[in-house]
Amino acid sequence: MSHDDAVFQEPDIAEALGLIEPVVAELVEDLPACQFSTRRFIEVLLGNDEYSEAYEAALRTFELYRENGLKILHGQVIATALRHQQTLAFVGFVHGEPDHVDPYCHSAWWRKERD
């Protein structure tokens, strides 16, 4: 293995972000002012058929084992889409609250500042 082969390559999330960001924006827009975890947000997203389809389409862009794709989708793509929402603030990472821990990423707390 050459040195170049051993260098970590960040996955290209652009296509997945393009698929998921519009549904994240729509879902966030419909939320009242509140605080929620990444895990809870994804649960709500997956409860909607249209949003769930976008989630699965974004996941397919990685062509990896499903578990690795889920790690990228939850930890990078959805987190980036949430950071892009002007009405949300990152509040910190989830610690010690099993109901809010995401098995695919380090779940965060988000607060919607305004309706």
The predicted-structure confidence for 34-77, as pLDDT tens digits, reads as follows 999 999 999 999 999 999 999 999 999 998 788 999 999 999 99
Q: Which domain holds residue 67?
A: 13-112
Domain membership of residue 8 (yes or no) is no
pLDDT at 8: 65
Domain membership of residue 23 (yes or no) is yes
Average pLDDT of the chain to the nearest whole number: 92
Domain membership of residue 4 (yes or no) is no
Higher per-residue confidence, 10 vs 25: 25
Length of the chain (residues): 115
Task: Read off the pLDDT band of 1 (50, 70, 90).
Answer: very low
pLDDT at 63: 85
Distance CA 4, CA 16 (A): 26
Report whether pLDDT(13) > 70: yes
Residue 97 to residues 2, 39, 54: CA-CA distances in angstroms? Answer: 43, 11, 28
Domain membership of residue 59 (yes or no) is yes
Domain membership of residue 6 (yes or no) is no
pLDDT at 3: 53
Please compute the mean of the pLDDT values over residues 81-109 and round it to a whole number. Answer: 95
Domain membership of residue 5 (yes or no) is no
Structural domain count of the chain = 1
Domain membership of residue 1 (yes or no) is no
In this prediction the pTM is: 0.89
Positive/negative CA dihedral, 25, 9, 39, 87: negative
